[in-house]
A and B are shown apart, each in its own frame.
Chain A
Amino acid sequence: MKKSLNLFFYLITTTLLMTSCNNANSTSHKSGALNSSAAEKVYVAPGEHDEFYAFISGGFSGQLSVYGLPSGRLFKVIPVFSQDPEKAWGYNEETKPMLNTSHGFIPWDDAHHPDISQTAGEIDGRYVFINANNTPRIAKIDLTTFETTEIIEIPNSAGNHSSSFVTENSEYVVAGTRFSVPVPQKDMSIKEYKGNFKGALSFISIAPEDGAMDLEFQILMPGFNYDLSHPGRGKSHGWFFFTTYNTEEANTLLEVNASQNDKDFIAAVNWKKAEEYIKAGKFKTVPANYAHNVYDEHTHTATSTMKKEVKVLDPAECPGLVYLLPTPKSPHGCDVDPSGEYIVGNGKLSANLTVHSFTKMLSAIENNKIDGEAYGIPILKFEDILAGVVEQPGLGPLHTEFDGKGNAYTTFFISSEVVKWKLKTWEVIDRKPTYYSVGHIMIPGGNSAKPFGKYALAMNKITKDRYLPTGPEVTQSAQLYDITGEKMELLLDFPTIGEPHYAAGCPADLIKPRSKKIYKLEDNNHKYAAKSDADTRVVREGNEVHVYMTMIRSHFSPDNIEGIKVGDNVYFHVTNLEQDYDVPHGISMIGANTSELLIMPGQTETFVWHPKQIGVWPFYCTDFCSALHQEMQGYVRVSPKDSDIVLNWSLGED
């Protein structure tokens, strides 16, 4: 008790000292000359393109946003674990299955860690993966269309936080559970947590040709909290590292009870070994229930399949599969340098940063220097594997990224700063304040063998006075630093969608040339597509009515429909016949209990309308498409249930 009180006073004093220190720094840096050069560095002239893409997660908005760097301009918000009325994502009939889970339709989640696919350790710009924390899922966003094309649910997992990071050749995207749970789930006393709950680490394979995901296997670990993870690379390729906290296995008041142990662990998982065990049949197949949702670019339609089992490995029965690396005080971020040698454990309650050496770890394993075990998993000795310690760099370290020039950049939440330090010498080189309470930091390519060490992007949890106030809820924000010099330079504050949790970035040239312009009509295999005017029609099947409609500048075909009755379920299947870049059309129907559709050239989308009242009801194009956009409209006549008006439709007939 006394000890923790002491620590508390120490923290307070240091915070005060650092805060005052930061203030002094920030005022001295507000010189005019510096500001103008910062402005030039982030200025991208009208019509010119940014040098980098930044994919910044939307945190609790469930989305992924696309920004340009260095300008900080927002280009697109991609719905992932969310419904988006602008794009009809999660509202139209085609994408609703994407949000299916074993718990039914879930239109929201907490999206945290985007990671770009890699080839040979370098960012390849093909896909972004991102995790859903709350109802565990991993999504894949295709960077030719900038749309979510696959979502896989993760069974036996809860608070899917140490996710979604890819291995060196995108062999796997890896997901670890933050909360341990009974596996399989059962009705039991919460007090029996210790020794009974399990933490699953999931390895999802990525097919090289089309990126198709499949849950290959899970490793059932002790009931710790698995906080973050990163892949080994180069010499440590084939390993994956996970930070843990709550090695106390507390089930209540974790704030206190999970902060008791001096050291928790980084779990080093040899996934090549796991593959060998799987091949040798050393796994158990256990029943499970999880959704696998795939969007097909040619049918423009998603399907959801429930999967019923998963292969699991028990590390106690698989020697050499997992080793535990003691790491001080509830390590949060788990970051691996570009060479793959150094594994940084950002112990959030620790005064120092701990860096482990992969080479030393291997030699400790080889020489069988085991210090103990946890549930049959060997624990290595802290001193045997330690590469170095960065002494008292700040308060509340969270995450570290690398510039590829031998430097590391760590964020400090409590002292609100980014600290630059040197690998191998472990000396602090520079520190700059953030405004305020920074979480993650991102250097384009920072989680790969080849970072592009020009900019670092800090993502803040608090902004307070930095922007015009907008009521109790103020904007979320990111800050851009120039990291090309010895000292970092703050260039830009910019607002982001909330919450900017983590980001992945890469040079624009990796993505730009492959960005899709249109969907080819001839490749459209949508079940209800009307690919030319001759295909347009209205078909009644009982009280279900299917409208096969087309749109082109600037009319719908058909645009007059009669013979619809109150109580019908009217499906509008609308195909955009345009084959030119950037000519989407929208459609909305008065009284439809859903969003508009926003349909790209060559694409088909569907909404359902349940007419409840007789009358003549208009629909119109929502996306300003041409000088005659206001003329792009139509009418549907709704008659009483017992009406004998025959179904008929037309365009341009008197």
Chain B
Amino acid sequence: MKTFGKIILFLNILLLISCGGNQKEKKEQITIGKKSTSVQSESPKPKAPTKTLPSKKIDLKNKGIGPIKSVKLLAEIDQSMVSKGQDIFKKMCMACHKPTKKFIGPAPTGILKRRSPEWVMNMILNPTEMVAKDPLAKELLIEFNGSPMANQNLTEEDARAVLEYFRTL
């Protein structure tokens, strides 16, 4: 019985992996060999994705894996925390995340409409385990070319301030 369960699990994993592959955005056509010039050519418009990208998925229930079990957000945004969070974001995160546009990693704009605050903080504080175990984080790693989310050793207080800053984006 146990073995049977394992086989099923294995098959499911296989399915998941192949699923992940299918989700990749399909390019219109391969354009290798075209000479680049200093004059800017119009970039081809990406075709609307057939499936929702992991970065666009909405899951407000998943709290992620890590030290943060529950976060209470007050109705009013704490401005002093925001400026502290923005400062930390600039120093520790901007090498890979631009506030409003996709860079090495996703942009945090509107993140709290897609993720729970706990998930966001756990992703900051415990990225290695998140990327290995959390289903959403695993999909994101694939979407962002396997570029790992770096653990910048923020304190919980720092991560909370960054979260408050994200509320303003």
Contact = CB atoms under 8 A, between A and B. Distances in A.
A553 B90 contact: no
A327 to B, nearest CB: 56
A613 interface: no
Contacts of A557: 95
Contact of A554 (B94, B147, B152): B147
B146 A627 contact: yes
Given A521-B91, A531-B91, A532-B95, 6 more contacts: A534-B90, A552-B150, A555-B104, A577-B95, A580-B153, A628-B145
B136 interface: no
B92 interface: yes
A584 to B, nearest CB: 13
B91 A532 contact: yes
A579 interface: yes
Contacts of B90: 532-534
Contacts of A40: none
Contacts of B168: none
A579 B128 CA distance: 13
B146 to A, nearest CB: 4
A626 interface: yes
B95 A550 contact: yes
A521 B154 CA distance: 11
A552 B146 contact: no
Nearest to B91: A532
24 contacts: A521-B91, A532-B90, A532-B91, A532-B94, A532-B95, A534-B90, A534-B94, A552-B95, A552-B96, A553-B96, A553-B148, A553-B150, A554-B147, A557-B95, A578-B150, A579-B92, A579-B153, A580-B151, A580-B152, A580-B153, A626-B148, A628-B145, A628-B147, A654-B40
Nearest to B87: A532
B146 A628 contact: yes
B153 A518 contact: yes
Given A552-B95, A555-B104, A583 B145 contact: no
B107 to A, nearest CB: 13
With most chain B CB atoms within 10 A of its CB, the pick from A550, A579, A652 is A579
Interface string B90-111: 1110111000000110000000
B interface, over-half SS: loop
Nearest to A602: B153
Contacts of A626: 146-148
A600 to B, nearest CB: 13
Contact of B150 (A521, A522, A580): A580
A580 B146 CA distance: 18
Contacts of B91: 521-522, 531-532
Interface of A: 518, 521-522, 531-534, 550, 552-555, 557, 577-580, 583, 626-628, 652, 654
A578 B92 CA distance: 8
A583 B150 CA distance: 9
A46 B94 CA distance: 38
A529 to B, nearest CB: 12
A555 B105 CA distance: 12
A626 B96 CA distance: 14
B53 to A, nearest CB: 19
By size class, the interface of chain B is 10 to 19
Contacts, number: 53
B95 A627 contact: no
A616 to B, nearest CB: 13
Contacts of B153: 518, 579-580
Contacts of A627: 146-148
B103 A652 contact: yes
A533 B148 contact: no
Interface in B67-97: 90-92, 94-96
A533 B94 contact: yes
Interface string B38-72: 00100100000000000000000000000000000
Contacts of B43: 654
A137 to B, nearest CB: 36
Nearest to B36: A654
Contacts of A580: 150-153
A532 B96 CA distance: 11
Interface string B136-167: 00000000011110111100000000000000
Nearest to A518: B153
A602 to B, nearest CB: 9
A579 B147 CA distance: 16
Nearest to B96: A552
A627 B147 CA distance: 7
A205 to B, nearest CB: 36
Contacts of B104: 555
Nearest to B144: A628
Nearest to B97: A533
Contacts of A578: 150, 152
Q: Shortest 9 CB-CB distances between A and B: which pairs? A: A580-B151, A579-B153, A627-B146, A579-B152, A552-B95, A533-B94, A532-B91, A533-B95, A577-B95
Nearest to B147: A628
Most buried by B among A522, A532, A550, A627: A532
Contacts of A628: 145-147
A518 B145 CA distance: 27
Contacts of B146: 626-628
Nearest to B90: A532
A518 to B, nearest CB: 7
Nearest to A536: B95
Contacts of A577: 92, 95
Contacts of B150: 552-553, 578-580, 583
Contacts of A579: 92, 150-153
Contacts of A521: 91-92
A592 B158 CA distance: 40
Contacts of A553: 96, 147-148, 150
A532 B104 CA distance: 15
Q: Counting chain A CB atoms within 10 Å of each CB, which of B40, B104, B146 scores highest?
A: B104
Nearest to A520: B153
B32 to A, nearest CB: 17
A518 B154 CA distance: 13
Contacts of A583: 150
Nearest to A578: B150
Nearest to B103: A652
Nearest to A521: B91
A654 B44 CA distance: 14
Contacts of A518: 153
Nearest to B141: A627
Contacts of A532: 90-92, 94-95
A1 B169 CA distance: 95
Which of A518, A531, A552, A583 is most buried by chain B, counting CB atoms within 10 A of its CB? A552
